[in-house]
Chains A and B, each alone.
Chain A
Amino acid sequence: MLFNKILIANRGEIAVRIIRAARELGIKTVTIYTKEDASALHVILSDEAYKVSSYINMDEIMDVALKSKVDAIHPGYGFLAENPIFASKVVKEGIVFIGPEPEAMVLAGNKLESKKSAIKADVPVIPGPLEPISSVKEAEKIAEELGYPVLLKAVGGGGGIGMRIVRNREELHEYFRLAQQEAYKAFAIPDIYIEKYIDKPRHIEVQILADNYGNVIHLFERECSIQRRFQKLIEEAPSKALMWDERLEIANDAIRLAEKIGYTNVGTVEFLYKNGKHYFIEINARLQVEHGVTEMITGIDIVKAQMRIAADKPLNLGQGQISIKGWAIEVRINAEDPLRNFAPSSGKIIKYHEPGGFGVRVDSGVYEGYIIPQAFNPLISKLIVWGENRREAIERLRRALIEYIVEGVRTTIPLYKKIAEDADFIEGNIHTKYLDEKLPKFIGELSIEERKRIIAASLAFKIRKTKARKSISRIRYEEYKSSRNLNAWKLSTLCNNNVY
C-alpha cells in the first residue's frame, strides 16, 4: 500500500475527489472542516474529520495530522497547496507532502524567475524585460519599446491579480501604482513587470507527471480559453487549435522546462497560443481544478498518480503508452448569478439532481439540502463530459446541462446552456476574450427569461391578499415614480405591509 492514512487539507469538490482516489487505493482519509462546513460532503465521506478554525491555519492542521497519525498530506488546490512554508513544515514532521518540492513552489510562485527558467530551457516566452519595473518612468520607456498595448503583471502573480492591460501612456500612469498595490495586498510583493500584450490568445496548458527518479511525461494539453477576468469557466482536452506537430512541440517544451528545474509530482505548464506560436506564461505547482478533462481523454487517474509519485514509486507508464481518446469538456458550476455580475449566491440547495449516463462525470462537493456557505470559493461542482469527438462532447454537454437540476441557489448553468448553443463555441473559434465579447448577448437572452420569472412571481404574490393591499393602492403610481427618494419611514411602511 502507498500510504495507510492521509490528511486532505482542503474542502468541497476537490476534497471529495481526493477521498475517492484514496479509498480506491485502500488509503484511509482524514479531513478538516471549519464551523461553516460541519455538514459538508467531504466531512461526510471521509473516515475521520476534525474541526479547525480555518483551512490555512498551518499549526492547527499539523496538530490534526500528528494526532490522527497520517502518513501524508494532500493539499488539493488553493489554500495551502502552493505554500512552500507549509510543505516544509509537513516534511519536517516526517510526513509526506503530496505535491512538488517547496523549491519548485517558490520558483513557480515567482513569475519572473519562472520566465528565466523557461528561457534557459529554450521555451518561447512573451517579449518583455526579465526584471521588475521600479518606476512609472522606466515602465513608460519599456512600453514604448515593446509597443502598446502592454500587460502589467505581478511578479508574485496568479489569478489575474495585479494584471492590467495598458493601451497607452495615460493608462500606464493610471494603472502602474494600482497594479503594485493590488500585487502587494495579494502576495506581499509589490513587484510588477511588463510584457507585450497578446490580444485574444488561446490558453493552452500541458499536464506533466514527474517522478522522483527523473522521469517526466506529459498527458497532452488542455485548452482553457473560456475565461472571465482571468478565471477559467470552461476547459477542454485536447485543444482544437493545435495540429499534431504543434501539440507535440508544446508538450515537449513543457517537459524540457520541468526537467530543467527538476520538477516532481504533477504540475501544469501554461502557455498562450496565437497564430501558430506559443508562449510560456507560468507553471502551476499543484493539481488543477480542470485535471478531470485530461483524465477523461487519457484514462489516467492524476490524483492516484500524484499519490504514487509522492510514495516514491517510479512512474508506471512511459510516454509511448499515453494516447488521446476522444474529447472532454468541463464546465465549472459556480453558485453565482450571471445576471448580476456573477454575484455569489449562497443558501440552501432545495432540489439537486446530477446528470448521468454514458460519458458524463460530475465531481461535486454538494448534495440536496446542503447549505452553501458564503465564506468560500463559489465552485459547487464540475460537470465533465466525454465524447468520441468534440461534436459529440458538445451534444452530450447540452444534454447533461438540461438534466442538471440545482434549485434554491443561482448557478452558472443557464449561461453554459447559452455557450453550448453558440456557433463560435461549437466551431471552436474561442480565445481568452471570447466570453467578454459574448457575455452581453448571453445576458440579454437570459434576462428575458428572468423578466418572465419576475412577472410570474409578481402574479403569484397576488395570492397573498392582505389587508395591507388597500393602503398600498392608495399611494398612486405617479407619486411613487416621482419621488424616487421616498424617505426611509415611508419605504419601510410599504415593505412591512408587503412582507410576502
Chain B
Amino acid sequence: MTRRIIAKCFDDEYSFTIEKQESNRFLILDEVLGKINAEVKYLDELRAEVVIDGKKYVVVIDEDKNIAYVNGVPTKITVLEFLETKATNYELISNNRRNNREETLGEIKAPLSGKIVSVKVSVGEKVSKGETLLIMESMKMLNEIKSPYDGEVKNIFVKDGDSVKKNQLLLKIEPKNTS
C-alpha cells in the first residue's frame, strides 16, 4: 500500500510517497532524491532511529511545539498522510484549479517577513504596472512592492508599522481586463 506524505516544514512543502516493505523497511519515492530505502526503528513513543542511505537520523518529537529534532536540528513540521488512490475526479480538480487562480490573481503577498514602512496607495486607487504599492523593511533593507499589473486597489490588509510574515496577504488588486 502506497501512501502520499505531505510534510510542511516552516514555509516549504515536501511531497513524497512511501511504500512499506517487509518489517520496518520502507521504499520512498521522492520528487528530488528519487528512490530511497529507509529503515525505521521506533525507540519509544517519541523517538525513532531512521536510516536513510546508510546514514542514521535520530528523531526526537517535541509534541508541545510541533517540532521534531532530527539529529538535533529543530524541524517545525506538520505531516499529512493520504492514501494514494487511482480514482481521480479530473472534472473537480480542474474546477478547483480555476477557482484558485481567480482567488489568487490580484493578491499581493509579502515576499519576506518584515515590517510595513509605508502604504503608498489607497482603496479604489487606479494603479499601473510597476507602480509602488507599499514599502516594507526586512533585514534592515527597504523594499518596494510593485504592482504586477494595471488595475484598481480593492483591499488593503496592512497599515504602516505592521509586522508581516512571509506570504502574508498585503493587498488585493483587481486587474484590468480580467478574463
Contact = CB atoms under 8 A, between A and B. Distances in A.
Given A161-B140, A494-B80, A461 B68 contact: yes
A375 interface: no
Interface string B132-157: 00010101111010000000000000
Given A451-B30, A452-B52, A472 B57 contact: no
**Size bin of chain A's contact surface:** 35 or more
Interface of B: 4-7, 9-11, 14, 16, 18, 26, 28, 30, 32-33, 36, 38, 40, 42, 45, 47-48, 50, 52-53, 55, 57, 59, 61, 63, 66, 68-75, 77-85, 88-89, 92-93, 96-97, 100, 103-104, 112-113, 117, 135, 137, 139-142, 144
A500 interface: yes
Interface in A161-218: 161, 174, 178, 181-182, 185-186
A410 B73 contact: yes
A455 B93 contact: no
Interface string A327-362: 000000000010011110101001100000000000
A451 B14 contact: yes
Contacts of A452: 33, 36, 52-53, 55, 57
A500 B48 contact: no
Interface string A2-27: 00000000000000000000000000
A313 interface: no
B6 A181 contact: no
B4 A350 contact: no
Given A459-B38, A459-B50, A454 B73 contact: no
B30 A472 contact: no
B61 A477 contact: no
A458 interface: yes
A454 B48 contact: no
B9 A178 contact: no
Contact of B61 (A342, A448, A464): A464
A469 interface: yes
B68 A229 contact: no
Given A451-B32, A480-B6, A229 B141 contact: yes
A186 B140 CA distance: 9
Given A453-B75, A454-B75, A482-B97, A473 B81 contact: yes
A478 B95 CA distance: 13
A456 B57 contact: yes
Nearest to B113: A343
Contacts of B36: 452, 455
B70 A453 contact: yes
Interface string A399-420: 0000001111110000000000
Nearest to B38: A459
Contacts of B10: 337, 340, 343
**Central interface residue in B6, B48, B140, by most chain A CB within 10 Å:** B140
Contact of A457 (B4, B70, B84): B70
27 contacts: A161-B140, A178-B135, A182-B142, A185-B137, A341-B139, A347-B74, A409-B74, A448-B33, A451-B33, A452-B33, A453-B57, A453-B71, A454-B14, A455-B7, A455-B14, A455-B38, A457-B59, A459-B48, A463-B45, A469-B81, A477-B4, A477-B6, A478-B88, A479-B92, A483-B96, A485-B104, A500-B68
A484 interface: yes
Nearest to B61: A500
Contact of B66 (A345, A460, A472, A499): A499
Contacts of B66: 499-500
Contact of A455 (B11, B30, B104, B117): B30
